[in-house]
């Protein structure tokens, strides 16, 4: 798999990319070292993977063990970032980048819902990932369906469509 353009794909001159505003908080370890071997989307019965949290952020895991499913956000660090139209099937038919879950995007953030198997000394053991070994970790959140906000309710929480 290369970063070459496929027929009718369109890149722009987006200037040099900067990751300045993010901090990576750990590293994801998976069985996959080549993009072509990675699944397109992870599955909850996929191989066990490890998410190693940087020591400074391990206290942030407190309470996460209550959840069976968690959302993982990661930085698809080996992606090109300048395509506005892509040809997923390499057949010359293109679709806009924002209509795809392709790793090729201006800010290559990947997300997966994963099954949390256990947490051991700052390492999360999970199933459901689809990223390369060594992918940087951006964030972890509890599954929003299982999560009940810990903070007091706010007026907007129950807001529905307003009448004009």
List of residues contacting ligand SAM (CB under 6 A): 35, 38-41, 76-79, 101-103, 110-112, 130-132, 135
CA distance 147 to 65: 13
Question: How much is the CA Rg of the chain, to the nearest whole Å?
Answer: 18
Compute the half-sphere exposure of residue 8: CA atoms within 13 Å on the CB side of its CA: 11
Token pair 């009940």 is found at: 148
Helix (H) or strand (E) holding 110: strand 109-120
Residues paired with 29 in a beta bridge: 50
DSSP 8-class letter at 10: E
């Amino acid at each position: 798999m290369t970063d070459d353009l496929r027929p009718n794909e369109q890149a722009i001159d987006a200037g040099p990319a900067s990751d300045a505003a993010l901090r990576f908080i750990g590293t994801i370890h998976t069985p996959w070292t080549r993009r072509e071997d990675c699944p397109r989307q992870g599955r909850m019965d996929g191989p066990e993977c490890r998410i190693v949290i940087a020591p400074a952020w391990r206290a942030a895991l407190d309470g996460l063990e209550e959840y069976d499913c968690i959302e993982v956000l990661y930085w698809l660090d080996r992606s090109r970032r300048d395509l506005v139209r892509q040809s997923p099937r390499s057949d010359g038919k293109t679709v806009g980048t924002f209509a795809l879950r392709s790793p090729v995007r201006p800010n290559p953030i990947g997300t997966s819902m994963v099954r949390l198997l256990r947490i051991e000394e700052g390492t999360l053991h999970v199933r459901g990932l689809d990223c390369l070994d060594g992918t940087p970790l951006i964030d972890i959140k509890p599954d929003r369906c299982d999560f009940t906000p810990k903070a007091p309710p706010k007026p907007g929480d129950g807001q529905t469509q307003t009448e004009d």
